Structure 1
């Protein structure tokens, strides 16, 4: 496996390349190995929701950090690709959590702002980036703003776009290479945020039945598309469908592949 600095540089280059970076999120070793072995996959990203669910915890830093990091360590050790970790909101100390993630081989990560005061959110971004510099790597921080996902159903959409751009711009100025805006799915709103942040600076999550195709997001200037908890839900949906079929007297799907 390449050294940490090289993997970090590779991951950063993937975020700044003309082609959109697509990251189907993983949650354990076997999901990581299957995704890493898929044609076209160039890096991996973990999903905090998926890892927490694997151990029976609700998402939102309910899984102990040691347990969370141990699973990420196992994922990093099992693949030969750069790995980005969902740091959630930093477990109370974003810089220290990033430092520990780097120690297990992580070279990038998401960090939620949870709509905290902007100065506090920027300070957390700076702490994560400082942890990367201290380790001698270009840590690829996907600085997340929750402007859309924490908004009420009746929120003014133009104001949400403006707030996402305001916070995202502050994160970029603090040194984050890209900004993650979950909950952003409408074409015109994506175009407005890209205009505000610049092309190649926005990352999104693909939501089943709602999001634009990755190729169209690339045309709009989106840098990265990930899948969050939805890849695990795809797997669990297939599992439940197969269980229903065989319990009802049928058979397992004929197209099942030996992926483990």
Structure 2
């Protein structure tokens, strides 16, 4: 699947909903249900391999899982690549080139960093340098993620626009602002930036029709599906252990 076809999904009249998956099985299910494109959830993949979220997994492990996802479907696959698993732009670019070699057409690359379990933000030039280094070796779709809203920045709107403009100039293809929810904020960002905006599905965000009217181009849900499934799994396991019975598995 080509980068051009994936990019075209961001140019439709209505936003496309990315199916966030974590293995070949979930990828196949999403394709069968009609999703136009998939995004791997770094959080979910880390968890299923026994890691906490936040760049604790190795790039080789990511490549193994992602390659299985790509080979399982015939629709474009983007990878949540966190902050690139390195502070060195050239090393990040080398990692991304490996993703391209297994058939990945897009990545999310963020300016947030997790330290001691708490998410913060780096100087925007750090991500800008990574974007430039990646674009020097491959034309993969880069969805630049600004963690202005997830970290509750005091001037989240203005800081988001500032960072989006920096990432645009560096060569990004899309902007991702998880946790942006207010319609007036979304509208302002879209007015000020040139790239397609990706928002995250939250309980408080506007409905699909409204997001379409505002001009949003992509909607994702990250690890939320995985978390819901895991919660149900844990509840069922608890019932089995407590009741020493298996009937709820067949309800």
Match of 1:202 in 2: 197
RMSD, aligned CA: 1.9
TM-score by structure 2 length? 0.86
Task: State the distance in 2 between where 1:148 and 1:12 align.
Answer: 25
Instruction: Quote the residue 2:38 is aligned against.
Output: 44
Find the counterpart in structure 1 of residue 116 from structure 2.
none
The answer to whether the 8 Å contact 1:87/1:97 transfers is no
| Counterpart for residue 136 of structure 1 | none
Gaps of 5+ in 1: 134-138, 255-260
CA distance in 1 between counterparts of 2:104 and 2:239 reads 40
Please, which of 125, 133, 140 is the counterpart of residue 127 of structure 1?
Answer: 133
2:199 matches 1:183: no
How is 1:1-260 mapped onto 2 (pairs within 5 angstroms)?
4=1, 7-39=2-34, 41-92=35-86, 93-114=91-112, 115-133=121-139, 139-151=140-152, 155-156=153-154, 159-198=155-194, 201-207=196-202, 209-243=203-237, 250-252=247-249, 254=251
Offset at residue 48 of structure 1 (A)? 0.4
Where structure 2 has 5 or more consecutive residues not aligned to the other structure, the ranges are: 113-120
1:177 is displaced (CA, Å) by 1.8
d(CA) in 2 for partners of 1:96, 1:223: 29
Structure 1 residue 243 displacement after superposition: 4.7
Give the structure-1-normalised TM-score.
Answer: 0.84
Quote the residue 1:257 is aligned against.
Answer: none
Name the structure where strand makes up a greater proportion of residues. Answer: 2
Give aligned pairs, total. 236
Q: Is the 8 A contact 1:109 1:140 kept in 2?
A: yes
How far apart are the structure 2 equivalents of 1:237 and 1:188?
A: 34
Distance (Å, rounded) in 2 between the aligned partners of 1:130 and 1:140: 13
TM superposition shift of 1:241 = 4.8
